[in-house]
């Protein structure tokens, strides 16, 4: 987790990430922007509220490779979140094409 008390200033006019994000958001329709806003706020809470954790899954297609990005979660917590999610949606714990996910934190 980053230092929330950092004195680093964020220049919204020159920060490349901010500018790239603004340009990308301009390309989204209203519903996509609303969804992105909801997702962004939920993920940001994980950086500021100690008990909030997230695992974002990026898939390149059904049965293809995927990436897991954990937020405020170590490997054990990430595995627990995935297990609980699997239980909640009614999937078993094994998958014939299982692979070790790539965790980016």
pTM (global) more than 0.95: no
CA distance 91 to 51: 25
Q: How far is C-alpha 103 from the chain's CA centre?
A: 11
Q: Which residues pair with 54 in a beta bridge?
A: 71
Q: Where are the beta strands (DSSP E) in 1-105?
A: 54-59, 66-71, 102-104
Q: Which of 40-44, 47-51, 64-68, 79-83 has the lowest mean pLDDT?
A: 64-68
Tell me: the pLDDT tens digits for 54-80?
A: 999 999 888 888 899 999 999 999 999
């Amino acid at each position: 987790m980053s230092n929330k008390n950092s004195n680093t200033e964020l220049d919204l006019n020159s920060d490349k990430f901010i500018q790239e994000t603004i340009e990308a958001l301009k390309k989204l329709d209203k519903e996509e922007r609303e969804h992105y806003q909801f997702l962004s706020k939920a993920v940001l809470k994980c950086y500021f509220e100690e008990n909030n954790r997230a695992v974002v899954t990026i898939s390149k297609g059904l049965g293809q490779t995927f990436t897991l990005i954990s937020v405020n979660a170590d490997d054990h917590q990430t595995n627990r979140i995935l297990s609980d999610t699997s239980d909640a949606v009614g999937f078993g714990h094994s998958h014939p094409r299982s692979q070790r996910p790539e965790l980016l934190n």
